[in-house]
Chains A and B, each alone.
Chain A
Amino acid sequence: MDLLDKHISAGYKLGFTTDVESETLPAGLNIEVIKKISELKKEPPWLLDFRIKSYNKWVSQVEPNWANIEHQKIDYQNISYFSKPKKKIASLDEVDESILKTYERLGIPLEEQKILAGVAVDAVFDSVSVVTTFHEHLKEKGVIFCSISEAAQNYPELLKKYLGSVVPYADNFFATLNSAVFTDGTFVYIPKNTRCPMELSTYFRINAQNTGQFERTLIIADEGSYVSYNEGCSAPVRDENQLHAAVVELIAHKDAHIKYSTIQNWYPGDENGKGGIFNFVTKRGICHENAKISWTQVETGSAITWKYPSCILKGDNSVGEFYSVALTSLMQQADTGTKMIHIGKNTKSTIISKGISGLKGKNSYRGLVQFNSKADNSRNFSQCDSLLIGDECSAHTFPYIDTKNNSSVVEHEATTSKISDEQLFYIRQRGINPEDAVSMIVNGFCKEVLNELPMEFAVEARELLNLSLEGSVG
C-alpha cells in the first residue's frame, strides 16, 4: 500500500494571498453589523427587514450535528462578515491590478480569453462582486447577469419576489445565517423563450483573513428558457479555518432548463487537518411543469463540505439531475448528496454520485429520494459509487428512499471499490507510470459525471482531480 499512500501531498496550487487594501468590518455579529452591511450596500428597507428577520431566527437555531463530520466549534463572533477592496470600481479598467492578476493566476482571465471561450464571468472577491463581464452584450437579449447588490438597486421587484422563495429564510442554521449576512453573489434572469447565448460563470475568491464568505446566488429561468451556469471557488492557504456559507436558489419555470455546474476548490487544509475552508452550502431548485434542473459538482477542496444540491419537482413531467464527484484526501471530510422531492406526476430524477477517498479523507454520500402520493408514474435512478485509495480513509453511504406512491419506480445501486496494487501493477506492466495509472482509473470512475460538465470546465475538473491525488502513489 506504500505505493498508493504517498501521492497526495503535492500541495494546493491556488493558496497564494493577494495584497490589496481592503475595508473589513470588525469580527462579530449583531444587529448593528447587519444594519451596517445593509447601509454599506445602500439596500432598500425591505431587504434590511429580511436580514433582521433572519438574524432573529438564527439566534434561536442550533447548528445541525447529524452530518458525518467532526470539526472544532465555529466561533461565529470571531468572524468578520464583510470585507471589500477599498478602491471603488466602475469598469474593468479600474479593477485593481493585483486582483486582475489574482484571477489570471487562478486561470480565470477576466478579459480576452473568455471572449474567445464565450463565457461571461462574475468575479466575487471576498464580499463583493468586483467585475461582471459581457454585461452589456447579454442585456441585448434581455438576460440579466449582475451581482446581487446591483440587482437590489436595479431589479428590486424580481429580487423581492424570488429571494427566499426556494430556500426560506429559516430553512436551516447556515441558510438562515446567510440570509442575515449575505454580502454578494450573482443574480441571473433569463427572459421567456430565450436561450442564454453564452455560458455564465462566477468565480469566488476568499482573500482577507478571518473573513467569512456568504454569497447568495439567484437564478430565474423564465418559461421556455435555457441557461448554463458555472461557479468556481478558491482561497489562500491560511492556518485558521474560514467559513463559507452560501445559498443558491434556482427557479425553473415551465419548460425552462437550468444547468448548474460547480467546481469547488477551496483550500482543503494541510495533511494534519490544519486550516481549510468550512463549506456549509444550501443549494436548491424548484422545477415547474416540464422544467429541468441539472446539478453537476466536482468537489475537491474545503476541509469540510456540507452541501446537498436539491430539486423540488413540483410541476408535472419535470426532471431533476444530480451528478457529483467528491474527492476527500488529506484530512478532508465531505458529507454531500442531494434531495429529489417528487411532487408532480411523471417526474424523473437521476442521481450519479462518485466519492473518492484518499489518505485520511472521509467521504459520505447522503441523499433523500421522496415520492409523494400524487407523484404518479415518477422515476428515480440512483447510483452511488465509492472509490478508496489507501487504508486510512473511509466511505459512507446514507441513502434514504421514501416511497408513498406505487406507480413510481425506484432503482438504487451502490458499489465500493478500491484501487488495488494488482490493478496498478497490471497497468504499470503495460508501461504506464503509477500516477497516470491512478488518474486513468479515477477518470474512468468519474467519467459519467465529468461528461456532464461544459467542455472548458471538464478539462479544468480533470486536471484538478489529478492534482488533488498527486502524491497518493509514489
Chain B
Amino acid sequence: MDEFKNFDYSDVINKKYKFLLGGDLDVDDYKDFYNINVFNGVPDYNNEYDFLKLEYVDDIPFTSLIPLNDEFYNLRLMQYNFEIILQPDKPIVIKNYYTGSGVAIASDFNIQCKNNIKADLLELNISSADKLIVNNRNFSIEESFLNYSRMDFIDNETSIFNNYNVSVGVGKFESVLTDKQGKVSINFWDINLNKPDSTAEVSGIVELNSADRHGNVCKINHLKNETGSKQEFRHILNGTSYAMYDGDSHIAVGAQDSSSSQISKAIMLSNNSRILNKPRLNIHNSNVKATHGATVGKLNNDDIFYMKQRGLSTKLVEEILLEAFKKDILDRIHNQEIRSFFHDKG
C-alpha cells in the first residue's frame, strides 16, 4: 500500500480532474469542510483531526461479482475503520480519487458513529478513464445521527458499484445520493434497524444519458418496534438509458408501530429510455403504516406552456422544472454548505 502513498497525486488532482469538477470552482474552495483524500482506496490521513480515528483493519481477498470488459477481478480489499469519536464542528468530506484505466479498484470502509454524535459526511468519487470501482461502506450508527451524501464525478466508461451495509441502533441514518452518468452504476443497500426508535432514509437523484445503466437496490429490515424508513428516488432519463429501482421493505413480527415508505418518480425525456420499478413490501405485522408509490411521465405540457407564456425558452423551462423535480431530494441534505455544493455541481 505504500506504493500508492508515494505516488504524486497533486498532478492528478490539479489537472486531470479539474474539468470534472465543473469549471473554476474546485472542491477545495469549500473551506468549511474537513477534507480527507483517498487514493485508490487508501486514505491519505494520519489522524490529524481529533474527532476522527482511522485504523487499518485488514487486507482481505475479494472477488468482484461484476465483470469489467468481460473479466472478473480478484481484488485485495484494504479495509479501514473510520470512527467518529467526537462531535465534528464541520462536515467531513471524503474524496476518493481513482486512477488507471481498464482496471478494477475497491475500497472498504467501516464508518462508525456512537454516543450522541451528529455528523455530516460527504463522499465524492472522482475518476475519468474506464474502470470498475467497487466501494463497500459499512455504517454502524448507535445513538447518533449521520447525514450522508454522495456525488460522483465519473465518465460514462466507468462502472461503479456501491455496497452499503447499514446498521442503526437508536439513531438516524439519512443519505442523499446523486448519480450521474456511469456505464453501469448500482447502489446496493442493506439496512437493518436493530433497535426501537431507529430510522433510515435513503434518497437519490438519478440522471442518466446515452446508454447509461443504473440501479438502486434497497432492502430495509425493520427488526424492532417503532422503527421508520423512507426510500425516495427520482429519475431523469435521457438517451437509451435504463434505470431500475428495486425497493424491499421487510417489517418483522416484533416491529410494532413502524412505518415505511417507498417512492419512485421518473421523468423520461427520451422515448428510448426505460425504467423498471419494483417497490416491494413484506409486512408480517399488522400495526404498521406502509406506503409505496411510483410515477412515470414526462414534463407537463401545460406547465411548460405557462412558463413559456411568461417569456422563458423551452430549454430554460426544462431546466427549471428539472431543478424543481430534484429540489425535494437535495433539501434533505442538512448541512447548508454541502447543499450548496450539490446545487453548484449537480
Q: How far is the CB of B198 from chain A (nearest CB, A)?
A: 20
- Chain A interface helix/strand/loop/mixed: strand
Looking at the assembled complex, report how far the CB atom of A364 sits from the nearest CB atom of chain B, in whole angstroms: 9
Asked if A404 CB lies within 8 Å of chain B CBs, one says: yes
Q: How far is the CA of A123 from the CA of B294 in the complex (A)?
A: 43
Tell me which residues across on chain B come within 8 A of A160, comparing CB atoms.
none
User: Knowing A399-B279, A403-B275, A416-B290 touch, does A391 contact B285 (C-beta < 8 A)?
Assistant: yes
Choice from B271, B283, B287, B289 contacting A395 with Cβ under 8 Å: B283
- Chain B residue numbers with a CB within 8 Å of A408 are 296-297
The smallest beta-carbon distance between A345 and chain B, in angstroms, is: 13
Q: How many angstroms between the C-alpha atoms of A389 and B285 in the bound complex?
A: 10
Contacting pair A405 B271 (CB below 8 A) = yes
Stretch at the interface among B19-27, B41-49, B262-270, B306-314: B262-270
Question: Number of contacts between A and B (CB, 8 Å)?
Answer: 109
Cross-chain contact of B292 among A409, A414, A417 (Cβ < 8 A): A414
Which residues of chain A in 401-433 are interfacial with respect to chain B, using CB atoms and an 8 Å cutoff? 401-418, 420
Taking the closest CB of chain B, its distance from the CB of A14, in whole angstroms, is: 28
Decide if A388 touches B294 in the complex (CB within 8 Å).
no
A394 to B285, CA, bound (A): 6
Partner of A404, one of B269, B274, B277, B282: B274
Would you give the 0/1 interface string for A324-367, flagging 1 where the beta carbon is closer than 8 Å to chain B? 00000000000000000000000000000000000000000000
Q: How many residues of B contact A (CB 8 A)?
A: 34
Whether the Cβ atoms of B286 and A401 lie closer than 8 Å is: no
* Distance in angstroms between the alpha carbons of A398 and B278 in the assembled complex: 7
Q: How many angstroms from the CA of A311 to the CA of B298 in the assembled complex?
A: 25
B116 at interface, CB cutoff 8 A: no
Pick from A373, A395, A401, A420: contact of B296, CB under 8 Å: A401
Which single residue of chain A is at the shortest CB-CB distance from B274?
Answer: A404
Contact of A401 among B270, B271, B277 (CB under 8 A): B277
Whether B74 is near chain A, meaning CB under 8 Å from some CB there, is no
The reply to whether the CB of A282 lies closer than 8 angstroms to some CB of chain B is no
CA distance A205 to B285 in the complex (A): 35
B296 CB contacts on chain A under 8 angstroms = 401, 403, 408-410
Chain B: interface secondary structure? strand
| B103 adjacent to chain A (CB < 8 Å) | no
Say which residue of B269, B270, B279 sits within 8 Å of A412 (CB atoms).
B279
The proximity string for A residues 375-404 relative to B, scoring 1 for CB distances below 8 Å and 0 otherwise, is: 000000000001011110111111111111
> With A409-B297, A410-B296, A410-B297 given, is the CB distance from A401 to B269 under 8 Å?
no
B287 partner, pick from A396, A397, A405, A418, beta carbons under 8 A: A418
Tell me how far the C-beta of B103 lies from the nearest C-beta in chain A, rounded to whole angstroms. 34
Partner of A396 from the list B269, B280, B289 (CB cut-off 8 Å) is B280
Contact B281 A416 (CB under 8 A): yes
Nearest CB of B to A12, in Å: 24
Is A406's CB under 8 angstroms from B290's CB? no
**Chain A residues whose CB sits within 8 angstroms of the CB of B286 once the complex forms:** 388-391, 393, 418
Task: Report the Cα distance A393→B285, complex, angstroms.
Answer: 7
Chain B contacts of A416 at CB under 8 A? 281, 283, 288-291
Residue of B nearest to A406 (CB): B268
Q: Give bound CA distance, A160 to B269, whole Å.
A: 46
Would you call B283 and A386 a contact (CB within 8 A)?
yes
Interface contact A394-B284, CB-CB below 8 Å = yes
Query: Measured between C-beta atoms, what is the minimum distance from B201 to chain A in Å?
Result: 19
User: Given A391-B286, A403-B275, A416-B290: A410 and B280 within 8 A (CB)?
Assistant: no
Partner among A400, A413, A418 whose Cβ is within 8 Å of the Cβ of B277: A400
Residues of chain B within 8 A of A400, CB atoms compared: 276-278
**Is there a chain A Cβ closer than 8 Å to B336's Cβ?**
no
B284 partner residues in chain A, CB cutoff 8 A: 394
Which residues of B come within 8 Å of A, CB atoms?
Answer: 237, 253, 266, 268-298
